[in-house]
Chains A and B, each alone.
Chain A
Amino acid sequence: MQHAIAFVEQKNGTARRVAFEAVHAAKLVAEQLGGEVHAVVFGSGAAAVAELVKAHPATKIHVLDDAACNGFLIDPIVDVVAGLAKELGGAIVVAGNTMIGRDVASRVAARLDAGINADVVAFEVANGTVACVSPKLGGLTITTCAFKNADFGVALIRPNVFAAKTDAAGNGEIVALAAPTRAYAMTIEADVDEAAAELGVEEASVVVSGGRGLGGPEAFTTILKDLADSLGGAVGASRAAVDAGWISHGHQVGQTGKTVSPQLYIAAGISGAIQHKVGMRTSAVIVAINKDGNVPIAEFADLMVVGDAFAIVPELTRGVHAAKG
């Protein structure tokens, strides 16, 4: 293992925030291995995203801006990333722990007969061996797993952990990739964006979640969304709210939803059941708003405000706007 490949996830010219974080994470590892950072950008709009990658530390930016590949889900990307890894002879592949990232990474890992570490928050490199640090079991334990004397390894990084500051130093060389020529079995018949350009809870640095205490769907698109917007964050939810049909499953935080670790997590009308807790307990700061001061979330929130969410949340949004001027 000498080089690092970063999968830059993008759609129609808009990169995921974690995509740039992957380039920086790849750089951290490659630097210590004495290797290069190769970014891969794929699908229509890739050329525009590749220009943005130039402000991040990649040695080479491999680009395939081809609409013909859009209709086949991940298969052509897997061919390209695994092919590049083999060409480099030894590499760690770094992708964001998103739905597409997991799909690409898991197939690439199998294709390369490589180990895979998920939800990585730090890398440790010693004597040419790369180890990944990941919280497991909903943050119950933190493990360090090394890739055993292998040429290849695959790491899925947790969004929001690796800083992705732009710097001109990158200025990677853009290399055009050849379009795969084989036929692919999976066909996308329709691709519907219900929530265009919305920031996912996994990537947001602030998550404002609502639970059963919010009583219905309205609060999620009004007071909660306003607060999330004021803080530049995303709206999350407990399973109770999702099961009631107030908001879609993509917003659910917890054991059967997404694991998040933002800088700030605000829970309004959420009791803090263990299955919710495991999805958010690694957040840097947790604030809870609940009518009842004796709920489980009071045991692990950094600040617990006892009161009515319907009254406090809009007031808080006003306060945030005032503080930000």
Chain B
Amino acid sequence: MKIVVTVKLVPDTNAEKRIDPGTKRLVRVPNETVLNPFDEYAIEAALQVRDARADGSTVTVVAMTPESGKEIVRKALAMGADDAVMLCDEAFAGSDVWGTAIALAAAIKKNGFDLVIAGSQSTDAGTGALPGALAEYLGVPGLTYLRKLAVEGTTIRGERETDTGFQTVRVEAPCLVSVTKSINEPRYPSLKGIMGAKKKTIAQWSASDLALSVGSGGAKTELTAQASPPVRGKGKLVEAADAVAGAQAIIDFLKEKKLL
């Protein structure tokens, strides 16, 4: 089975983020960039499916990212993925969900796939909309928000989180699934994994390799304005003498704000 994991590179939330006022794009300083935390769960899920099958199944990581993301993509290889494809092209810069989904779909089709595993959301400007759009462009069913995944032959079974509980869902490969952080505990790359990753292939494909023209010119949405939200300052601090006084301070405050 050919398993493909889509991974996004995102700014480390512990690092300060900045928007470039000229290009209006998020500034990504290389060493402040990490694998989208959700995608580590996706990689782990893929490795577990591959290893359980032990039939020569492979895991390929696909990321649309500038070339500077190479060392971070290598982390996915160090975890155990077999190879990686990076979609690097100035033409991809500024892609919206539409542009990203089209480019990823083209790359995944070129690579070949039976099962695509995505994270369910990304922690930067992500919308959680990519997996659905990608499934549509791949022309396969999309099973989202899985907290359990089992593959038997070509049958994919999953337990899907819902807003009120869960569903057990079944589908035949080829298909796309997205996973939540309840699905597993991602492994840390072992020393052997890190050494081995240096020898693994990271292919770089451009828009012309995929016969595509997407990116800022081809995006379906256009950033027209950007504003900073009002700064949230320090509010009132009350040292409660006892529980009644503490509760009363809150009641008074809620009344003042017309919330009670």
Contacts and interface: CB of A to CB of B under 8 A. Distances in A.
B112 interface: no
B247 A312 contact: yes
A186 B224 contact: no
A299 B73 CA distance: 36
Interface in B134-161: 134-137, 141-145, 147, 157, 161
A194 B13 contact: no
Contacts of B219: 115, 148
Nearest to A315: B247
A2 to B, nearest CB: 17
Contacts of B123: 255-256
B129 A156 contact: yes
Contacts of A191: 162, 165, 167
Interface string B182-220: 100000000000000000000000000000000000011
Contacts of A256: 37-38, 123, 181
B225 A194 contact: no
Contact of A131 (B163, B224, B250): B224
A228 B135 CA distance: 38
B226 interface: yes
B133 A312 contact: no
A187 B98 contact: no
A196 B164 contact: yes
Interface residues of B, number: 83
A320 B253 CA distance: 12
Nearest to B181: A256
A274 B14 contact: yes
A174 interface: no
Contact of B165 (A109, A142, A194): A194
A103 to B, nearest CB: 5
Contact of A305 (B96, B227, B232, B238): B238
B54 interface: no
A159 B123 CA distance: 19
B170 A189 contact: yes
Contacts of A249: 147, 161, 180-182
Contacts, number: 265
A24 B153 CA distance: 47
A117 B125 contact: no
A74 B175 CA distance: 15
B236 A278 contact: no
A293 B257 CA distance: 22
B199 to A, nearest CB: 33
A217 B243 CA distance: 22
B234 interface: yes
Interface string B5-17: 0000000011001
B239 interface: yes
Contact of A308 (B38, B147, B224, B243): B243
Residue in A109, A114, A206, A274 with the greatest tally of chain B CB atoms within 10 Å: A109
A268 to B, nearest CB: 11
A103 B169 CA distance: 15
Given A314-B243, A320-B260, 12 more contacts: A98-B163, A141-B19, A141-B228, A141-B229, A186-B170, A189-B157, A189-B169, A249-B181, A287-B254, A303-B250, A311-B246, A323-B254
Interface of A: 11, 73, 75, 98-100, 102-107, 109-111, 113-119, 131, 135-148, 150, 153, 156, 184-196, 198, 200, 206, 249-250, 255-256, 263-264, 266, 274-275, 278, 281-282, 285-287, 289, 293, 298-308, 311-312, 314-316, 318-320, 323-324
Shortest 10 CB-CB contacts between residues of A and residues of B: A106-B132, A115-B220, A110-B136, A311-B243, A118-B127, A315-B247, A307-B240, A115-B221, A194-B165, A106-B129
18 contacts: A106-B128, A106-B130, A106-B136, A118-B129, A148-B219, A150-B220, A186-B170, A256-B123, A285-B254, A286-B232, A300-B233, A300-B234, A302-B235, A303-B235, A303-B236, A307-B243, A308-B243, A315-B243
Interface of B: 13-14, 17, 19, 26, 37-38, 96-98, 101, 123-125, 127-137, 141-145, 147, 157, 161-172, 175, 180-182, 219-229, 232-240, 242-244, 246-251, 253-255, 257, 259-260
